[in-house]
Amino acid sequence: MNLADVFTVVFVIIGFMILFVGLWLMAAGLFPRTVERCADRMGRSPVKCAVVGIASVVPLVGAGIFLGKVANNAPLKVLSVLLIVGVILAALFGTAGLALRIGQGMPSACDQTEPWRRQLRGGIVLALTYLSVVLLPLTLLTGFGALVLSRLAADAPATPSDPLAP
């Protein structure tokens, strides 16, 4: 393995870390109430979020893989890819709540004027923990479970700025 191969691997990992933080910031900017409810849900019952995430992700991804294998035409194969990618994106949007929760645990004086910095701080810390590959699937499953549970709960009224609010 030469130096170019090492740099390729390093820069791909750095690129994914930046991508995760960007997706979490985008989720917090587009759907602030949903991300706050996910953060709340993860703070109250993280184990329940993980169990619901596992119980809902495994069948959805399994259905996507099964559909991709048995499909004879391109539209069904595209549908299977969209199903799997949609589950991953929903899990990342739910994990934005975990990034917010981590950021809330590291308060700063500028949080009152720039509340997005909480999400940024938490996202950076969470992305750094993804260097241990074990935490990536665990947090994605928990994030999907938190998103499902926050969507099922009708404890907060919907706001016009958040179309995902129930």
pLDDT at residue 163, rounded to an integer? 57
Q: Supply the DSSP string of 124-151, one letter for each residue.
A: HHHHHHTTSTTHHHHHHHHHHHHHHHHH
> Does the pLDDT value for residue 78 go beyond 70?
yes
Amino acid at 119: Q
Share above pLDDT 70 across residues of the chain, in percent, rounded to a whole number: 92
> Does the pLDDT value for residue 157 go beyond 60?
no
Q: Which of 41, 44, 18 is nearest to 143 (CA)?
A: 41
pLDDT at residue 133, rounded to an integer? 85
- Average pLDDT over the chain reads 90
pLDDT one-digit tens code per residue, 47-71 = 999 999 999 999 999 999 999 999 8
The half-sphere exposure of 87 on its side-chain side, counting CA atoms within 13 A, is 22
pLDDT one-digit tens code per residue, 111-154 = 888 888 999 999 999 999 998 888 999 999 999 999 999 988 75
Question: Reduced to 3 DSSP states, what percent helix, strand and coil does the chain have, rounded to the nearest 5?
Answer: 80, 0, 20
For residues 63 and 76, the answer to whether their CB atoms sit within 8 Å is: no
The reported pTM is 0.85
Domain spans of the chain?
3-152
DSSP letter (8 states) at residue 1: -
Mean pLDDT of 105-112: 87
For residues 140 and 12, the answer to whether their CB atoms sit within 8 Å is: no
Higher-confidence residue of 14 and 1: namely: 14
pLDDT confidence bin for 84, thresholds 50/70/90 = very high
pLDDT at residue 29, rounded to an integer? 94
pLDDT at residue 164, rounded to an integer? 59
Higher-confidence residue of 161 and 36: namely: 36
pLDDT confidence bin for 94, thresholds 50/70/90 = very high
Share above pLDDT 90 across residues of the chain, in percent, rounded to a whole number: 79
| Distance, CA of 130 to CA of 162 (rounded, Å) | 28
Burial status of residue 54 (CB atoms within 10 A of its CB: 0-12, 13-18, 19 or more): middle
